[in-house]
Homo-oligomer: A and B are copies of this chain.
Amino acid sequence: MIIDSALYRGGVRIPLACTKEDLRAVRSSTSEPGDFIWVGLHEPDTAELSAVAEAFELHPLAVEDAVNAHQRPKLERYGDGIFLVLKTLWYVDENDAVETGEINLFVGRDFVVSVRHGEGTELHTARLDLEQRTTVLDHGPSAVVYAICDRVVDSYEEVASALEADVDEVEESVFSPSRTQDSRRIYILKRELSEVRRAVNPLREPMKRFATGSVPVISQESAPFFRDVADHVLRVSEAVEALDSLLSTAFDAHLARISVQQNEDMRKISAWVAIAAVGTLVAGIYGMNFEYMPELRWHFGYFGALGVMLVASVVLYRVFKKSGWL
């Protein structure tokens, strides 16, 4: 579906009626130097994408990539244009999961075609924000690329901090005195981090190249902006590595905790067994059938025996309590 399309001239938006049919008219609307078009598509069908591809002379291989989502993030040059694939990430609170979508950008000297897959990061507000900043819009298509990359990378940071909060919860759970089963949670978090890593890390190189101004359609004057984005990508990437390594340590701590708990359980059990054993032993002794056992004839022998059991139990209980077994 074609979501929005406009011509930008001197930092000002000129809306264009745009259906599949009049794409050619749209394409040829850039009459003055500095003009450029931004066509935004959301999960287009093949026909729509073909029409756009034809109007803007997009490379068939890039178009094929844009149809099948599930690409690696990448930056590719085709002739004098570029093709950029970004993964979008968003965090779904209900099931603590990270979902992924995809944005494909075809950028030429005087146009940007953005193709979005999935429900994540939407580009409409990015467009509105950008349209406020006339000086940035003046950079041409690279302003659009910057606005989108910035938005996408901001969402990475949100995801990273949501995961950071999850790791904090796990940490608290691991070191809480109660028995917790954190291994599953840790596993799932590690899987989510791996997902984020696969979205973020391949983006470092393209952003760096934008930041050095060595990519054809990206203007030199927007390089500092991309340097900022590249820096955020790096920060997310480092945060993810740090979280991953923290989770590994947390997992080890969880394992140690299980061992310690088992040890404590075993000692507690053993202490009670010992207390019971002493009683049983005393009972066994006075259950012997010897003819001559003086205590048996004592009037309070029975209560004495019970008393011995009780005293022995209390003494043992105290001993175990003191030595930390109970």
Contacts and interface: CB of A to CB of B under 8 A. Distances in A.
A39 B287 CA distance: 94
Given A252-B183, A258-B259, A262-B263, A288 B286 contact: yes
Interface string A289-300: 111110111111
Contacts of A266: 262, 265-266, 269
B289 A289 contact: yes
A324 B179 contact: yes
Given A183-B256, A254-B256, A280-B280, A290 B305 contact: yes
Contact of A258 (B179, B251, B256): B256
A74 B272 CA distance: 61
Q: Summarize A's interface: helix, strand, loop or mixed.
A: helix
A13 interface: no
A259 B256 contact: no
A276 B269 contact: no
A297 B288 CA distance: 12
12 contacts: A61-B224, A72-B235, A72-B238, A183-B256, A183-B257, A251-B252, A270-B273, A273-B277, A274-B276, A286-B289, A286-B290, A290-B298
Interface in A293-326: 293, 295-302, 305-306, 309, 324
Contact of A242 (B187, B198, B257, B280): B198
A19 to B, nearest CB: 30
A295 B289 CA distance: 10
Chain A interface size range: 35 or more
Contacts of A74: 231
A291 B296 contact: yes
Contact of A301 (B270, B277, B292): B292
A291 B256 CA distance: 55
A267 interface: yes
A284 interface: yes
A276 B278 contact: yes
Contacts of A154: none
A235 B198 CA distance: 9
Given A262-B262, A273-B277, A293-B289, A253 B186 contact: yes
A20 interface: no
